[in-house]
Chains A and B, each alone.
Chain A
Amino acid sequence: MSTPLLIAVLLLLAAAAFEFGRRRALQVAGPEFRTLHSLPRYYGSYTALWCALPALILLGAWLAFEDKIITILVIADLPAAYQSLSEPELNLIVNDLRNQLSGNVVSRELNLDMQAAVKHYGSLRATSKAALAVIFLSVAMLGMGLAWRKIAPDFWARNRVEAIVKVLLIICSTLAIFTTIGIVLSVLFESIRFFRAVPVFDFLFGLEWSPQTAIREDQVGSSGAFGAVPLFAGTLLISLIAMLVAAPVGLTSAIYLSEYSHPRFRAAAKPLLEILAGIPTVVYGFFAALTVAPLIRDAGTNFGLDVSSESALAAGLVMGIMIIPFVSSISDDVINAVPQSLRDGSLALGSTQSEMIRKVVLPAALPGIVGGLLLAISRAIGETMIVVMAAGLAANLTVNPLEAVTTVTVQIVTLLVGDQEFDSPKTLAAFALGLMLFLVTLALNVIALYVVRKYREQYE
């Protein structure tokens, strides 16, 4: 039986187990069903969990180790001549065996020994499959039976079920943590490889970014320069422009929506504003590249300025529009969270509404607003698509927003797109950049969280 089929059967069994457990509980209790320690459905859940969980664990372990064990067995049965081969060569042979078995192309003619091995491999696989099905279903039945037998009026099924559910919750919550750790570690190790080729100092403080490395020894002019400063400068420049757009517009719109607007207008305008956050960034990207950038270039020409058709300004402006909802939505929530009693207190002293907003509401909401701004900044720093399309790829070290610049994320994309060798510094640089970017946004997020938490202690 195939694995999906096995799981389907198991689910059916578990459903049956639930019903068996429930009935058993009612049956053992008889007319005194109120004396049951737990509700009947807990006895059902207990039986179902005992039926499904051990079998699933077994299935997982089996699928993880099946292939390795079969390979070891096949190699052990190969004639002695093969046993002395080195490990890569053995791997090649095993690969051929597998390909032959599943009908794919093989790299060589198979001799008699090999054909025997293929047959052996095939039979082992078939046996394993059959054994798995039998053992899997028996474990499920056994688990169900054991749980079923335990059911008694004074058996604490609810506590057991809740303990199991708690363990499942813990596993799920740690899953995300371990994934994060895994990503960080993989980026970290690749970065260490990169820093073996390029000194950390050159990477962090180098002023030139030109990641073309020589593929052949005799190639000229592509020695590669991995100074990350222009990239981070470009990132900062574009993020700064974006925040110059998003912070004032987002904040004032939040103030208007939460303090001045009619509730009906707010109910309509807030979701509309949040739609901005739902537009795919690639759409913003071509809006920036095809509409805003030419507009800026033409406007610049009228003023006698030399504007390149891909400029930091275009990308920054559009990115600013994109993150307005982050600023306005969070600020709006935070401003709304300022207690009405503070507003009343201020109004009752004869303050105007604007005095109340400036002197009481905004100071009370400020830490939360700062938290929202920081989240928007980390969003801006991580943004890629708009910059790829509107700001260009040239790693200029400049503060002039009318020139083309590039950002960390854009360079990571271009480094990894196309055919790449995974041991050249050019490719590995992407991981180093990723690590740096991760550290920067992490720091910003930590600051944001810290500020937001501090804000919670403000009143109450």
Chain B
Amino acid sequence: MLNQKQAVLLERPAKTNDVLPSAPVKIQDTDTKTVGQVTVDKPIMTTRNVDVYYDDKQAIRNVSIDIAYNEVLSMIGPSGCGKSTFLRCLNRMNDTIESARVTGSIELEGHDIYDKKTDVVTLRARVGMVFQKPNPFPKSVYENVAYGPRIHGLARNQSELDEIVETSLRRAGLWDEVKDRLREPGTGLSGGQQQRLCIARCIAVNPDVILMDEPCSALDPIATARIEELIDELRQNYSIVIVTHSMQQAARVSQRTAYFHLGDLIEVGETSIIFTNPQHKLTEDYLTGRFG
């Protein structure tokens, strides 16, 4: 059943794993240099020297980082440091903000996502996003999950659609709780269930990368624990980039951690190393609670 769904997805022209990636763009030397391990061997996404401006104000400076297959990369840092801005660059959600301007290079499997030939619709189908506040559509649970497959034409008939909905809800760990109330409005679920519904909605279009923007900040500890478990399970199939304010959460769910500070990417490294032995003074200060 899964194979069939994946087969449908593979037919999409944009999903071209077999196209040879162009040579990765070199990181240019600048005055702000990120310490730690920025690159990985086989990245799914690479970003090189990314700057983002809102009008004339620079929100992030010169960020270069790789995202590996099947890893959870967490991004931490004090408020206003540009984590969310950077996250929103990865699926071009910043396009919706009139004043935002992005320079540098961001590639998904070797294709520049800001290239004129890149269809932002296909990009977002491959790089899904889960937001800070659960935002289910005011439709039924079923319709929420079926929304993505419908607009991308992933199901040829009703039974295929049913299957995709069930698989997605199961993967999001929500199926048992909602299987009897698929026709009830998604907005009627609890906060944690709503967020898992949003995750199910996101994985229903079978993306390669899932971006999560503080997905647990509006949830209670139990719901948070449930989502964290889910993130760990999802790693089998997806690359996940998660912005979080909770250092404990970053330590619990991620394999690599990136520390942002006032628009600069200060340090990247294995989560275990960053938390036990940070190399940069700012990272250490933040992790030990000296500010933030």
Most chain B CB inside 10 Å of its own CB: which residue of A339, A343, A347, A350:
A350
Contacts of B128 in A (CB 8 A): 348-350
Q: Given A349-B124, A350-B148, answer yes or no on A263-B98 (Cβ-Cβ < 8 Å).
A: yes
Contact B138 A350 (CB under 8 A): no
Give the size category of B's interface with A.
20 to 34
Contact A350 B121 (CB under 8 A): yes
Q: Given A263-B98, A344-B131, A345-B137, answer yes or no on A352-B93 (Cβ-Cβ < 8 Å).
A: no
Minimum CB distance partner of B144 in chain A: A345
Contacts of A255 in B (CB 8 A): none
> In the complex, A267→B274 CA distance in Å?
50
> In the complex, A359→B139 CA distance in Å?
10
> In the complex, A349→B96 CA distance in Å?
14
Given A341-B135, A348-B131, A349-B201, 4 new contacts (CB under 8 A): A344-B93, A347-B96, A364-B137, A458-B138
> In the complex, A347→B91 CA distance in Å?
10
Q: Given A341-B131, A459-B187, answer yes or no on A346-B138 (Cβ-Cβ < 8 Å).
A: no
Most chain B CB inside 10 Å of its own CB: which residue of A339, A346, A364, A458:
A346
Q: Give 1 or 0 for each of A345-375: 1 = CB within 8 Å of chain B CB.
A: 1111111100100011001100000000000
Q: Give 1 or 0 for each of A324-344: 1 = CB within 8 Å of chain B CB.
A: 000000000000000101111
> In the complex, A350→B147 CA distance in Å?
10
Most chain B CB inside 10 Å of its own CB: which residue of A341, A349, A351:
A349
Most chain A CB inside 10 Å of its own CB: which residue of B96, B137, B202:
B137
Among residues 169 to 204 in chain B, which have CB atoms less than 8 Å away from a CB atom of chain A? 187, 198, 201-202
Among residues 137 to 154 in chain B, which have CB atoms less than 8 Å away from a CB atom of chain A? 137-139, 147-148, 151-152
Can you offer 12 A-B residue contacts whose CB atoms are under 8 A?
A342-B138, A344-B96, A345-B198, A348-B93, A350-B122, A350-B123, A351-B121, A352-B151, A355-B151, A360-B147, A364-B138, A458-B138
Most chain B CB inside 10 Å of its own CB: which residue of A348, A350, A458:
A348
Minimum CB distance partner of A340 in chain B: B96
| A interface residues with partner B (beta carbon < 8 Å) | 263, 339, 341-352, 355, 359-360, 363-364, 458-459
Output the least CB separation between A258 and chain B (Å). Answer: 14
Judge whether B133 is part of the interface by a CB distance below 8 angstroms: yes
Q: Given A342-B135, A342-B137, A363-B138, answer yes or no on A350-B187 (Cβ-Cβ < 8 Å).
A: no
Judge whether B241 is part of the interface by a CB distance below 8 angstroms: no
> In the complex, A398→B138 CA distance in Å?
43
Contact of A350 among B131, B135, B152 (CB under 8 A): B152
Contact A349 B135 (CB under 8 A): no
Contacts of A351 in B (CB 8 A): 121, 147-148, 151
Minimum CB distance partner of A341 in chain B: B135
Contact of B125 among A339, A343, A349, A360 (CB under 8 A): A349
> In the complex, A355→B147 CA distance in Å?
10
Output the least CB separation between A36 and chain B (Å). Answer: 45
Contacts of A263 in B (CB 8 A): 98
Contact A359 B151 (CB under 8 A): yes
Contact B138 A349 (CB under 8 A): no
Contacts of A341 in B (CB 8 A): 131, 133, 135
> In the complex, A370→B111 CA distance in Å?
45
> In the complex, A348→B96 CA distance in Å?
11
Q: Give 1 or 0 for each of B3-30: 1 = CB within 8 Å of chain A CB.
A: 0000000000000000000000000000
Contact B135 A344 (CB under 8 A): yes
Interface of chain B: mostly helix, strand, loop or mixed: helix
Among residues 199 to 216 in chain B, which have CB atoms less than 8 Å away from a CB atom of chain A? 201-202, 205
> In the complex, A342→B136 CA distance in Å?
7
Contacts of A343 in B (CB 8 A): 96
Contact of A349 among B98, B139, B187, B202 (CB under 8 A): B202
Minimum CB distance partner of A458 in chain B: B138
Contacts of A349 in B (CB 8 A): 124-125, 128, 147-148, 151, 201-202, 205
Contact A348 B122 (CB under 8 A): no
Q: Give 1 or 0 for each of B67-103: 1 = CB within 8 Å of chain A CB.
A: 0000000000000000000000001010010100000
> In the complex, A347→B122 CA distance in Å?
11
Output the least CB separation between A352 and chain B (Å). Answer: 6
Judge whether B65 is part of the interface by a CB distance below 8 angstroms: no
Contacts of B121 in A (CB 8 A): 350-352
Judge whether B129 is part of the interface by a CB distance below 8 angstroms: yes
Contacts of B133 in A (CB 8 A): 341
Contact A459 B122 (CB under 8 A): no
> In the complex, A347→B147 CA distance in Å?
11
> In the complex, A346→B152 CA distance in Å?
12
Q: Given A341-B133, A341-B135, A363-B139, answer yes or no on A350-B151 (Cβ-Cβ < 8 Å).
A: yes
> In the complex, A345→B133 CA distance in Å?
10
Output the least CB separation between A416 and chain B (Å). Answer: 49
Top 4 closest A-B pairs, CB basis?
A350-B125, A348-B129, A341-B135, A350-B124
Contact of A345 among B125, B135, B152 (CB under 8 A): B135
Minimum CB distance partner of B201 in chain A: A349
Contact A346 B96 (CB under 8 A): no
> In the complex, A434→B180 CA distance in Å?
53
Minimum CB distance partner of B95 in chain A: A347
Output the least CB separation between B15 and chain A (Å). Answer: 12
Minimum CB distance partner of B121 in chain A: A350
Contacts of A363 in B (CB 8 A): 138-139
Contact of B124 among A348, A359, A458, A459 (CB under 8 A): A348
Contacts of B136 in A (CB 8 A): 345
Output the least CB separation between B202 and chain A (Å). Answer: 7
Minimum CB distance partner of B187 in chain A: A459
Contact A347 B131 (CB under 8 A): no
Contacts of B152 in A (CB 8 A): 350
> In the complex, A351→B187 CA distance in Å?
20
Contacts of A345 in B (CB 8 A): 131, 135-137, 198, 201
> In the complex, A459→B91 CA distance in Å?
26
Contact A459 B96 (CB under 8 A): no
> In the complex, A341→B129 CA distance in Å?
12
> In the complex, A350→B205 CA distance in Å?
9
Output the least CB separation between A335 and chain B (Å). Answer: 14
> In the complex, A151→B138 CA distance in Å?
59
> In the complex, A364→B186 CA distance in Å?
13
> In the complex, A342→B96 CA distance in Å?
13
Contact B147 A359 (CB under 8 A): yes
Most chain A CB inside 10 Å of its own CB: which residue of B122, B125, B138, B187:
B138
Output the least CB separation between B135 and chain A (Å). Answer: 4
> In the complex, A342→B91 CA distance in Å?
17
> In the complex, A360→B129 CA distance in Å?
17
> In the complex, A355→B125 CA distance in Å?
14
Minimum CB distance partner of B137 in chain A: A360
Output the least CB separation between B240 and chain A (Å). Answer: 14
> In the complex, A327→B98 CA distance in Å?
27
